[in-house]
Structure 1
Amino acid sequence: MARFSTDTSDIELIHSLRAGHQEALAVLYDRYGGLVYTVALRLLKQPAEAEDLTQDIFFNFWKQNKYDPGRAVLSTYLGLVARSRALDRIAKRSTQQRSLQRLQGSIPERAMTPLENATLSEQQETVQQALSQLKDQQRQVLEMNFYQGISHADIARQLDMPLGTVKTRARQGLIELRRRLGGAVG
């Protein structure tokens, strides 16, 4: 396991990350996570959504090799990505709200049918079964976040662990849930 100090340059960390040293991502997250979160929060105005976007940006940074150090310093690159992705989310949210308003204006509310209730119950049971098969650490974070509505930052405080660890466990848990559920819930 490679050890990185606060003096390790961004370029060294990126090379280490590309060489398979995932712990380099934690150092980069500690270094720039606040910047990305601040940009996202300033635009999105919702802490949970800003946390989710921050996690998503770092996950994609880890999985994709799109950053070119010759074009911009890492802080600038991550700030621009955060701004762009936040604006995309705002546009998507706006489109969804307009669609929902149109639908609500034209479709009267109705009670769920017994078949819809049964289907919903089956889906909930399927999700619970898939959750029970996750690693305990991933399941705990997901349950706290989705069922109890606790933000990643509050989970980190409650479990006394780094925010990046909480977000990584949440992301890995969601990926595993999607894999296990496939098309079973939709």
Structure 2
Amino acid sequence: MSIEIENSAELDVFRKLSEGSESAFSAVYVRYSPQIFTFIDRMLGLSDVTDDLVQDIFIDLWQKRDFLKNIENPKAYLFRMASNRVLDYQKKIASRKPILDFVISQQPTMEAMSEQRVLYKETLILLGEALDTLSPQRRRIYELSRNEGLSHDEIAEKLNIAKSTVANQMASVLKQIRLYLEKHAVIFSFAIFYLLTQS
């Protein structure tokens, strides 16, 4: 028996998926795979790669379905999985270049798509607002890491603080920025957030 997803039944279908229902998984795949494909393809523009990533995402969703029972917003969780896949792919082709430089280098591609351009600029604005909420030391650590490309060791030496302090502060900074963006940004901005904040 197939399952069709209505908005009001979304949580129930994901719950059934978490319990191992293959029909629920099929329903989730039918409904969300086209959205995930569009989500990824707008950022990569490589349909063959996008196809592979979408398949990987849903294989991963099935294999880790048990986690869904503790997720309050499974749809957002699914799109974050997609964001992580995009990040992994971008990291490979970026050859570990500074992430911000890589994103800037992709700006002409983003500007070819008006919707993506708006979201890109929106995320940059929100990132700036999020940075304004940081303490002076946390902001300095973030800027040394992301804007100047310094390692944790180099930051610790420059600021005369312990390396563990740098690591802990960076973890707190990224969490604070992520929470700010989750509160203020649309879901389509998550991938850009990860590209801007991960090393």
TM-score in terms of structure 1 length: 0.44
Bigger RCO (CA 8 Å, 6+ sep): 2
TM-score in terms of structure 2 length: 0.42
